[in-house]
Structure 1
Amino acid sequence: MNTDMLYSLQRVERLAAASKLVRMVQMPVRYVYAIGFRILRYRFGKRGVAKRTMTFFGVPMTVILPASTDIYLTGGKSHNSEIRLAKLLIRQLQAGAVFIDVGAHFGYFALLAARLVGAQGRVVAFEASETTHAVLSANVAAMPVVQAHHLAVSNQQEMISFYEFPVLYNEYNSLDVAQFIKEKWFQESKPKRIDVPAVTLDNFFASSTLVPDIIKIDVEGAELKVIQGATELLRRTKPIVVLEYLSPERHNQDHQQAVTLLRELGYQAKSIATDGALVSCSDLNAYLYAQHVDSDNFAFVKE
């Protein structure tokens, strides 16, 4: 396990838990610029700005502010679930491993995985948004172990409609925007529809020699379709599958079906502990209630 990288991640964790005042004192120029840009320039112009930053794992990365402001300020994704996911990858991904990133966004986890798997490993990243993929592609251009594909991942091979939000909300880009209609921000940030080719993981890896060690799925509600399109891959291999699971209050029927399908394929659910270790979790809804959260990343392991 890379203890130096875990130590560096602790700084992200500390800054994430700190007050706004502490963050401003720690990084005054960046903090004032990022917050000022969002409040003043973005509010009126609705146009993002590309900024280069250094990640906690020592790889430079471009983000488009005001999206990914946390990476720009701290060098990492700062939500508790994302910090624990980073720790899981640091624990589990060894040199030579294969990491599949479905919904890679600007490439934060793809870049972290590339750093962990080294020259003999492989990272395959999928991003459906055209504008977001352009940033992802530029971020991984200097890393030959990473393949960045402008493709959606679903349960059928076909052209599909995909919805891109303005940059402030582009982490919500999705196949289905109905889930966001009641959100206050949705009324002022309507998405643009694009057509994009979709692939299934089964077909994509049918003729590949790559055997995935971890598949991370972050597709804003389309997790079930991704799993449905990967059943053959998951039957013949046994990667750890990481996906977000929502509480029943957030209409999680598709997430429940995705979990049921994974269990039928021989997988057991695990929560991700604060140190990145995996802990058996038989009731995901009860776990969310106990943690007082309405969503979290869970890992599924074939035992």
Structure 2
Amino acid sequence: MTATPALTSNDPRDLDGKRLQNAMQTLGRDPALRARLIALLRESEDRIAFDGPVRDEVVGPIIDALHLESDEYEKVLADGTRFQFLYRTKIARDFLLSESEHPSHVWEPQTTKLLLELSRDLQGDVLVGGAYFGDQAVLVARAIAGRGLKVHCFEPNPQQAQMLQRNIDLNHLTNVAVNVAGLWSRSGERMRLDGFDSFANMVTAQDGSGFDTVAMDDYARQQGRRIGLIQLDIEGAELSALQGARELLARDKPSVVFELHRTYVDWTHGLRNTPLCSLLLDLGYTVHAVRDINSHREMPGQPIELVPLDAVYLEGPPHGFNMLAVPDAARVQGSAFRMVEGVSPKLLPHKTPHLHHPVGGF
């Protein structure tokens, strides 16, 4: 057997990647050089021959290596909305890589359209669980400003909650409340986040650290406010949060936009039989999957495509997507919506078009 030669300080190989990582971070400390490198990488995406998602597997990791978690950016949307954000996870990366200097949205174009559409005729406040830095909550708050309605945000990550408050102030909004707390079935539980940034999920805190939980029923009662729309993106805590909102759901009948992910939800026997969907169906809601791309991509003129609960294509690796529950099915029968069947809610440009592209293509 031939012995593996020992590595020396003169060995040019970078077997663990640390030298490359350090080199990329060093390059990234020069903002002007970093911007030029990012622009070059963005331009190269369409030229790279790769059988898979070029952004996630080729270009993205290089751009990620240029950054530290503390790096901050600011972007201005086409409507003048300003966002400051930390470079963390693909939400920040893909927003930074937007095709337009002044894009129409931050993240998940069709879900953003959906929330703004539902905000048009609201009869109550908006409650957002997992508000992050305000990527969608700030836009909704702007849309309902001046109508006597509020957006109540829950974001247990203190750094992202601070960035959320900064974006509220940047846009001169006075109708947003920020709660550094997590939504749960009961108020007063002590929890902490397990995992990194937007991927972190709530677990019990044994040492008293972390944050308090809030049940939506308790919160709405304390505020004395009617709730017209709920949005939840809280990494597996969606069921518990809705269990803590039974009174509110039965009384106010808000529309509910929520994430459903295979990591946390077993849909082996169909979406209808999952506890999340069963809870809402039992309360008389109509539930659809929302077709969207888990990224930033301009989709002008594309209606919001909804898939009936029993007609969703679910095959593939563990994945998640957004759902919409409405108390009145007529709410989604207008021209803003398109009903489709037998397709995936995951819009994936590199996958089979008839399953993973919107009707008519991207």
Check whether TM > 0.5.
yes
Q: How many residues align?
A: 248
Unaligned runs of 5+ in 2: 1-40, 48-59, 293-301, 329-362
Residue 95 of structure 1 contacts residue 116 of structure 1 at CA under 8 Å; is this kept in 2? Answer: no
Unaligned runs of 5+ in 1: 1-18, 26-33, 178-192
Query: For residues 287 and 176 of structure 1, do their structure 2 counterparts lie closer, same or farther at Cα, with a shift above 3 Å needed?
Result: farther
Residue 255 of structure 2 contacts residue 326 of structure 2 at CA under 8 Å; is this kept in 1? Answer: yes
Residue 197 (structure 2) aligned to one of 170, 181, 189:
170
Q: TM-score, normalised by structure 1?
A: 0.72
- 1:51-75 CA distance string (max 9 Å, x none): 1111344210111014412223324
- 1:191-233 CA distance string (max 9 Å, x none): xx94201110000001434222211000000111100000000
Q: How far apart, CA to CA, are the structure 2 residues paired with 1:107 and 1:194?
A: 25
Q: How far apart, CA to CA, are the structure 2 residues paired with 1:156 and 1:292?
A: 33
What does residue range 34-73 of structure 1 map to in structure 2 within 5 Å? Answer: 38-42=64-68, 47-67=69-89, 68-73=92-97
Query: For residues 88 and 151 of structure 1, do their structure 2 counterparts lie closer, same or farther at Cα, with a shift above 3 Å needed?
Result: same
Q: Is the aligned partner of 1:272 residue 2:280?
A: no
What does residue range 255-294 of structure 1 map to in structure 2 within 5 Å? Answer: 256-272=274-290, 275-277=302-304, 279=306, 281-283=308-310, 287-289=312-314, 294=319
Residue 21 (structure 1) aligned to one of 14, 39, 43:
43
Q: How far apart, CA to CA, are the structure 1 residues paired with 2:136 and 2:61?
A: 24
Q: How far apart, CA to CA, are the structure 2 residues paired with 1:113 and 1:92?
A: 9
Q: Which has the higher helix share?
A: 1
Which amino acid in 2 is paired with 1:109? Q
Partner of 1:189: none
Which aligned runs of 4 or more in structure 1 are off by greater than 4 angstroms? Answer: 22-25, 34-37, 290-293
Which amino acid in 2 is paired with 1:154? W
Query: For residues 202 and 134 of structure 1, do their structure 2 counterparts lie closer, same or farther at Cα, with a shift above 3 Å needed?
Result: same
- 1:92-118 CA distance string (max 9 Å, x none): 212765221111011111111012112
Residue 91 (structure 1) aligned to one of 108, 117, 134:
117
Partner of 1:302: 327
| 1:147 CA drift (Å) | 0.9
Partner of 2:236: 221
Partner of 2:166: 138
Q: How far apart, CA to CA, are the structure 2 residues paired with 1:99 and 1:244?
A: 16
Partner of 2:127: 100
Residue 202 of structure 1 contacts residue 232 of structure 1 at CA under 8 Å; is this kept in 2? Answer: yes
Query: In angstroms, what is the RMSD of aligned CA positions?
Result: 3.0
Q: Which of the pair has more CA radius of gyration?
A: 2
Which amino acid in 2 is paired with 1:73? L
Residue 155 of structure 1 contacts residue 229 of structure 1 at CA under 8 Å; is this kept in 2? Answer: yes
Q: TM-score, normalised by structure 2?
A: 0.61
Which amino acid in 1 is paired with 2:250? R
Which amino acid in 1 is paired with 2:320? S
Q: How far apart, CA to CA, are the structure 2 residues paired with 1:288 and 1:227?
A: 25
Query: For residues 197 and 297 of structure 1, do their structure 2 counterparts lie closer, same or farther at Cα, with a shift above 3 Å needed?
Result: same
Q: Is the aligned partner of 1:200 residue 2:215?
A: yes
SS at match of 2:201: coil
Query: For residues 282 and 87 of structure 1, do their structure 2 counterparts lie closer, same or farther at Cα, with a shift above 3 Å needed?
Result: same
Q: How far apart, CA to CA, are the structure 1 residues paired with 2:316 and 2:192?
A: 33
Partner of 2:157: 129
Query: For residues 151 and 242 of structure 1, do their structure 2 counterparts lie closer, same or farther at Cα, with a shift above 3 Å needed?
Result: same
Query: For residues 37 and 232 of structure 1, do their structure 2 counterparts lie closer, same or farther at Cα, with a shift above 3 Å needed?
Result: same
Residue 174 of structure 1 contacts residue 219 of structure 1 at CA under 8 Å; is this kept in 2? Answer: yes
Partner of 2:265: 252
Which amino acid in 2 is paired with 1:60? R
